[in-house]
Structure 1
Amino acid sequence: MAMIKKTVVFLILALYLAASAMAMDDDDDLDFTELLGTSLPGSTAPAVSMTRPFLFEGELRPSVWYSLKDPHDVHTTNRLDLLMEAHMKNTSFVARLRGDYQDIENKDAFTGDIRELYIQQQGYLKRTYLSFSAGRKILHWGKGDEIRPMDRICPEDMRAFLYYDKNDRKAGLTGLFLESALPGGLRVEAFWSPVFVGSDMPDHGSYFTSQRMQHFSKAGGRIIESDDDWTWDSQSSMGLRIGLPLKRADASLYAWRGKDPMPMLKVSEVIRQIPINNPPYYMNIPPAAMELSWFHSDAVVFGADFEASTGAWVFRTEGAWQTKGHYEMVDFEKDPLLLNDFPEGLAEKQKGEFLIGLDRNDLFFRNLFVNVQYLGVYIHDHEKFMERDAYTQGASFTMKYSAFDSRISTLWRVFAWMNSQDRQHQVEASWRPFSNTLLTAGAFFYSGGGERDMFGQFRDKDFTFLRGSVIF
């Protein structure tokens, strides 16, 4: 009870005291995400603005969750984002910091992260624009709305699963970055990153521990972190993006090689015998997984995207083909003997992903935004003993509406996998009492699917939330 009171008091104070002190009388119809300069998919605007010599912004987002399923726990996750930019002639310095306090993990924890920290030099060589950056920088690849097959090179904070949007979950790569715009409209972006940082995953026993992992642990299984040796060659990554000069459209080609920030599970220990009291004091049994460990694969991915607009309609498509580093889990729970042929429980296959989407603002009436997307995932050379189907179909639907100069807004977003009827529903209603303050009430619901599916594994994790956002 003390924790609940403390969280509520903190929420109220953070929102109303900060809002009262810094409220601005601005009635413009403004998208709240623009206040902190959040990058959006498909944007071709430069990441750094040179309009002001110095910029400092911050956003405080305290949240309280209430679980709708037993044991109806109350949790809190609070985030502070800070952004600083300094510009002097053609040189820019950018720092983006993040601090979190949350109790959805095994224990209450304060964590901090440097999302971006880089220096950028930009200018022109004759008629060619050049930008060179060094440090830690977030890259935004792809065109889709929250689902972007090529936007996978940066590590993400997955501890709260999909509570935060994709761009909010991402942190930067550490390395060297080159951007260029050539006469005629051809754009080139390249990077080299010698340091690997993986995505932050939920600790075992946290709020988003899947049912499958819980059952595995209760049966005596262990889940450990991987212990791969660091090597310069295997850790470094490099990527290339080429933007094509098309009229009334934006298209890009991609190539990326590096360790996948999103980890996978493999079987790291198998038991094939159990002790008995009589000679030979052991008995052979079908192989059974006793230990699972996280690991990051060496991936090679090629892709392309395309975006065009006709009037108020925007059409987007994106595709990716992974030639190396994608592993499919074999169904060793159904057939334990598969562990004899696949001791890690995995089979390497090539994978393709294809996204097509359509969206429009002011649909039917002003400020109604609708986005619809279709996603197909194809496993090349699929074999019947794999857990996942050879072709998986998914869809997403997003509807946003704002009124009264964007002081009231709503969001309904659905992600669904059609093969298993696996779904996540996200609903939100927001009120903006001041131009720099946003209060949101919402909920996440997980339905359909099973404990092996992306959302079905969290069917017991439905929750509602109250969240505040204060820009300063």
Structure 2
Amino acid sequence: MALSQHRLPATKLSPQRYYVDAKSSSPSARLPRSIRVEDGRLNKIRLGLHNANMRVVFDVEPDQKCQISLTSVTDGMIAEVTIASSSAPQSVSEPSLPASVGETAKQESPNEIPLAELAPQAALVWSQPQETTCQVTMWAELFGYSAKDMTDDDYDDDTLSRLQARVGGSLERELSSAYVLETRVQLEGDRLYYDAGEADEDTEVDLYEASLALSAPTWDLSVGKQRIRWGKSDQLSPLDSLNPEDLRQFMTLDLEERKEPSWLARVRKFGESFTLEAIISPWFEESELDYFDSDWALYRNLRQTILAHPDIPPSLKSYASALRVHERKPSNSLENMSGSVRLLWQTNQADFALSYRYGWETLPTIISFPVKNIDYNGDPETDPTALLTTAVLTDEAVEARYKRQKIVGLEWETVIDLIGFRGEVAYIDKIAFLSSDLTSKRRDVGHLVTGIDYTSETEWYFNLQGSWLRIFNYDRDLLYFEQDNVALLGEIRKPVWRGNLEFAIRYNYTLTDNSSYLQPSVVLKYFPNTTCEIGANFFSGQGETLFGSYDQADQVYVRLNVSL
């Protein structure tokens, strides 16, 4: 586990704060999120998530100094806080803060000063829940999203609205002092609406998550529909391939929001400095993707462009309107199962992982397109009359297939001073790329993503990553990609008003073709259990580049999240 400590000086609006970040970790649901102390030295202890990291914040009086000592344990960490007063240092120990859903009980240590021995004015009141053999947690979440294009086009879906609701619960039971059983269930309702006449509206009610996990001191086992994260990079992670994605809004959503739980069985064995992990996927699950009639569809708004063009005859418009897609998915059989293994090990300086996956590509390979003899450059603004001049029309469907895929990867993470270094590299056999005849060609690729992140004493967060995608056996007729594709991506965040308001910008700039994507946003967190985000998505570049092909999809959006 990568850990980093920071100090923030007092301001007019904020007290002096010391905090510690546990990279890529989350607190147990049983721990309280805020503990009020107010003993003249320590005002409050706060626990939460910050940029996918677990953060523990100590609000300290201005004339006090605080030092945080961290001790890693098998399934979490123990934070010991020493506060220097005007007389002599005193030590206050905090209960174990787990790095995952599990929780480790605090152990007595002869080097820790018991709370009863502290001076009365320095006494700490900790409202830790009483230990129970069975813990039940319920929750509900509501997500609302609405986006409006900045330009109105007759052939475009100018407005997108989405409403999601999730209701779930978990039960954690201690079978003995060494074994814990946990089950999680979550239902989801999802309504996606486009204002374009040809676009498909989608309403789903589904079992979003359902898993059963058994944990022991040296191993754990989980089965069910679950989200499992591999890889170290943030918004672009070639090793995070265990779960399919919802790509109906492309990359305008965060990676974790796009990923969907899938049916998996995982077993892990924990050693002194290593973890061995094995995962089986019993059947294939594809990513969600529109083929036509959306800003984010595989063929963008190509069909709507034809339907709205005044010079195209009605017979051809009728043909375009009737285009259909025939998908063939792998059957649910033993021979179509997927398997993955990963070895993680820790040194004094860094964490590493080596992985191999034998599975399926979750995006389709187009083996046949019904319109033949065309040469498309990928630019959605291409005049369809010129594109169809030499076209040969057939009564076939768009034939989509799903193919096997093998991935070998290495990932790493370390912290030097206050800067985190992490990354991953993958060799993938193979990925489907769209070509100029609107069918796919599959090619082997190598993909490196690595970068740094840093949080300043004034709570500025900087994330900078570099991406290099190399396509082997490259063909010039592949759309949107060169043989070597180099990009810079990341985000910058700054909370103000004691964390109640946050300004952020996500960016992705492709050096190879000079195209880019920017997502500035403002997030309001003032109201309990509620966040409201207002932002915009800006795409730029030539029409035949990946980001440039979405140039007409610039939009403003508002998002509301409520949790209970």
Q: TM-score, normalised by structure 1?
A: 0.78
C-alpha contact (below 8 Å) 1:234/1:298 kept by paired residues: no
Aligned match of 2:382 = none
2: CA distance, partners of 1:64 / 1:380: 40
Aligned to 1:439: 532
Q: Quick check: 1:194 aligned with 2:282? A: yes
Q: How does 1:144-293 map to 2 (within 5 A)?
A: 144-182=233-271, 184-202=272-290, 204-209=292-297, 210-211=299-300, 213-214=302-303, 220=319, 222-228=323-329, 230=331, 232-233=333-334, 235-269=336-370, 271=372, 291-293=397-399
Please tell me whether the aligned partners of residues 153 and 261 of structure 1 are also in contact (alpha carbons under 8 angstroms).
no
CA gap 1:349/1:300 in 2 versus in 1, 3 angstroms? same
Are residues 107 and 231 of structure 1, via their aligned partners in 2, closer, same or farther at CA, if it must alter by over 3 Å?
closer
Answering whether residue 421 of structure 2 is matched by residue 315 of structure 1, we say yes
Structure 2 counterpart of 1:98, from 171, 175, 188: 188
1-structure distance, mates of 2:446, 2:393: 31
Aligned-residue Cα RMSD (Å) equals 3.2
- 1:406 and 2:499 aligned: yes
Q: CA deviation at 1:60?
A: 1.4
CA distance in 2, matches of 1:54, 1:449: 54
Give the Cα separation in 2 of the matches to 1:258 and 1:428.
36
Separation of aligned partners in 1, 2:257 and 2:355: 23
CA offsets 1:273-301 (integer angstroms, 9 cap, x no match): xxxxxxxxxxxx88788753333221001
**2-side partners of 1:373 and 1:198: how far apart?**
28
Displacement after TM superposition at 1:217 (Å): 6.1
Q: 1:31 Cα deviation (Å)? A: 5.5
Structure 1 residue aligned with 2:86: none
Does 1:61 find its partner at 2:143?
yes
Correspondence for 1:360: 454
2:443 aligns with one of 349, 373, 388: 349
Q: Residue 458 of structure 1 aligns to which amino acid in structure 2?
A: Y
Q: Is the 8 A contact 2:292 2:300 kept in 1?
A: no
Query: Match of 1:326, as an amino acid?
Result: I
- 2:101 match: 48
Determine the structure 2 residue equivalent to 1:415: 508
SS at match of 2:474: coil
* Identical residues among aligned pairs (%): 17
Q: Distance in 1 between matches of 2:305 and 2:365?
A: 16
- Give the conservation status (yes or no) of the 8 Å contact 2:465–2:490: yes
- The answer (yes or no) to whether the contact 1:234–1:258 under 8 Å persists in 2 is no
Question: Is 1:104–1:207's contact at 8 Å kept on the other side of the alignment?
Answer: no
Aligned to 2:407: 301
- Structure-2 change in CA distance of 1:430 and 1:270 (3 Å): closer
Aligned-partner residue type, residue 361 of structure 1: T
Question: Does structure 1 conserve the Cα–Cα contact (< 8 Å) formed by 2:365 and 2:440?
Answer: no
**C-alpha distance in structure 2 between counterparts of 1:205 and 1:212, whole Å:** 5
Decide which of 426, 437, 455 is 2:547's aligned counterpart. Answer: 455
Judged with a 3 Å threshold, the aligned counterparts in structure 2 of structure 1 residues 112 and 422 are, in CA distance, closer, same or farther, namely: farther
Whether the 8 Å CA contact 1:212–1:457 is kept in 2: the answer is no
Q: Is the partner of 2:247 in helix, strand or coil? A: coil
Q: Distance in 2 between matches of 1:414 and 1:34?
A: 15
In structure 2, how many angstroms separate the alpha carbons of the residues matched to 1:434 and 1:357? 34
Distance (Å, rounded) in 1 between the aligned partners of 2:482 and 2:255: 26
Which whole-Å CA distance do the structure 2 matches of 1:390 and 1:418 have between them?
13
What is the identity, as a one-letter code, of the residue corresponding to 1:230? S
What secondary structure sits across from 1:458 in the alignment?
Answer: helix
Q: CA deviation at 1:180?
A: 1.7
Q: Does 1:118 align with 2:171?
A: no
Aligned to 2:378: none
**2:137 partner letter:** L
CA contact (8 A) 2:295 2:550 kept: no
**Pairs within 5 Å for 1:3-18:** none
SS of equivalent residue, structure 2 residue 257:
helix
Say which SS state the counterpart of residue 48 (structure 1) adopts.
coil
Residue in 1 that maps onto 2:13: none
Which deviates the most, 166-175 or 230-239? Answer: 230-239
Q: Verify the 8 A CA contact 2:539 2:553 in the aligned structure 1.
A: yes
- SS in structure 2 of the partner of residue 325 of structure 1: strand
Distance apart, 1:314 and its partner CA: 0.4
Distance 1:359 1:190, change over 3 A: same
**Cα contact 2:221–2:267 (8 A) shared by 1:** yes
Q: CA deviation at 1:192?
A: 0.7
Supply the distance in 2 between the matched residues of 1:81 and 1:198 (Cα, whole angstroms). 21
The 3 A distance-change label for structure 1 pair 462 and 348 is closer
Checking the alignment, whether the CA contact within 8 Å between 1:156 and 1:169 is kept in structure 2 is yes
Cα deviations by residue, 1:328-380 (Å, 9 ceiling, x for unpaired): 444448xxxxxxxxxxx444332100011111011xx5111010111001112
1:142 matched to 2:236? The reply is no
**1:351 is matched by which residue type in structure 2?**
V
Larger Rg: 2
Q: How far apart, in 2, do the equivalents of 1:457 and 1:266 lie?
A: 22
* Letter of the 1:353 counterpart: H
2:432 to 310, 317, 327: 327
Q: CA deviation at 1:393?
A: 0.9
**Structure 1 counterpart of 2:189, one-letter code:** G
Contact 1:400 1:409 in 2 (8 A): yes
Q: Is the 8 A contact 2:168 2:186 kept in 1?
A: yes
Matched with 1:84 is 169
Which is worse superposed, 101-110 or 132-141?
A: 101-110
- Residues 431, 438 of structure 1: 8 Å contact kept: yes
- Name the residue aligned to 1:277: none
1:116 counterpart SS class: strand
Q: Distance in 2 between matches of 1:214 and 1:396?
A: 32
Distance in structure 2 (CA, Å) of the matches to 1:77 and 1:31: 27
**Contact in 2 for aligned 1:36/1:471 (Cα 8 Å):** no
**Equivalent in the alignment of 2:90:** none
Per the alignment, residue 372 of structure 1 pairs with 464
- Quick one: distance in 2 between partners of 1:60 and 1:413? 24
Unpaired segments ≥5 residues, structure 2: 1-33, 37-43, 56-74, 77-97, 105-133, 175-179, 308-315, 374-389
Shift of 1:28: 7.3
Q: Map 1:70-81; keep pairs closer than 5 Å.
A: 70-71=152-153, 73-81=158-166
Matching residue of 1:21: none
Paired amino acid for 2:545: D
Greater length-normalized contact order (CA 8 Å, ≥ 6 residues apart): 1
